[in-house]
Amino acid sequence: MMNRSSETDDTHCSMAVNADIDVMVKEEIEVNEEPVLIQDVEVSVKQEWESNQCDKSFTSNSLLIRHQRTHTGEAPYHCNQCDKKFSHNSTLIVHQRAHNGKKPYQCNQCDKAFSRKDNLIVHQSIHSGEKPYQCNQCDKAFSQKYYLKIHQRTHSGDKPYQCNQCDKAFSQKYHLKKHKRTHTGEKQYMCNQCGKAFSQKGDFMKHQRTHTGEKPYQCNQCYKFFSQTSGLIIHQRTHTGDNPYQCNWCDKAFFQKSDLIKHQRTHTGNKPYQCNQCDKAFSLKSNLKIHYRTHTEEKPYQCNQCDMAFS
């Protein structure tokens, strides 16, 4: 049968009618003394709602309306705690958990809980250890197909996510989203103890540990604890003797990148720390801080045996 379409004003879509034919035998008659089957045709109509802006089609009008917002940019669902808007009500519900702290998806093997179901599924692969998605260019394997796809861009160099305000491009959409905050100045993560705001969730979580004193990262050789993974990694080099940061002007090497940068200024003569009260400049921030005291006359170091103090 031919497909028929009709336009509706509210969705600007076309409805394609597909005929699913169910054949049923209804009766027999005799023609030329031979039995012949006469078949009646029973038609069940299946409607498909097609977008007029792309080639996608949907089984219901509501799904089409949701899809059309990806073309129009319409975001009718407003968060009542911040100024964010969303095209889908389900996305708003997930977002609101960032405000209310709700984590309805509980792991049944540990005490971790998540605000999104897909994050729980990814987490559960940690317990099973299953990594069915194998890279065909190296020996790495992944628990999620999405992670494999991202990893493969390290081989191809593909960066499909382009910033529309500068020439930077990214291999992951999440990294582009984070980068855009450097243009907008948006700081959506607010500390409820001191009022500081952060553009990145990771920086916000690190900051909160300055209030709680939490140090979740433990060294497995001396049992010291650290508030950040970067601090643990640097500390572990004191055990291994690893100095991965090599100076390209001399044979010195360092276990922290910051130490290498400071050292390289002895070769370049770079003095990035400028006093705002005179024309002196310094290669180290600590030296600038000490110099400021010549202007403020601050003397924070007090002798505990006499009344003398020093800068």
* pLDDT-above-70 percentage for the chain: 85
| pLDDT tens profile 184-211 | 988 888 999 999 999 888 889 999 999 9
| pLDDT tens profile 94-108 | 888 888 888 999 999
Tell me what the mean pLDDT of segment 227-245 comes to: 92
How buried is residue 122: exposed, middle or buried, by Cβ count under 10 Å (0-12/13-18/19+)? middle
pLDDT at 30: 42
**Tokens 């008659």 identify what position?**
29
Residue with the larger pLDDT of the pair 221 and 46: 221
Dist CA 256 CA 19 (whole Å)? 69
pLDDT at 143: 84
Coil, helix or strand for 273? strand
Pairing between strand 141-142 and 161-162? Answer: unpaired
Which residue, among 255, 275, 252, has the nearest Cα to 264 in the 3D structure?
Answer: 252
**What's the pTM value of the predicted model, to 2 decimals?**
0.42
**Tokens 């405000």 identify what position?**
99
Q: How confident is the model at residue 146 (pLDDT cuts 50, 70, 90)?
A: confident
Tell me what the mean pLDDT of segment 54-61 comes to: 83
pLDDT at 7: 42
Q: How confident is the model at residue 270 (pLDDT cuts 50, 70, 90)?
A: very high
> How many alpha carbons lie under 13 Å from residue 14 in its C-beta half-sphere?
12
pLDDT at 51: 79
Q: How confident is the model at residue 305 (pLDDT cuts 50, 70, 90)?
A: very high
Mean pLDDT for all residues in the chain: 83
Q: Which domains does the chain have, with CATH numbers?
A: 7-72 (no CATH), 77-158 (3.30.160.60)
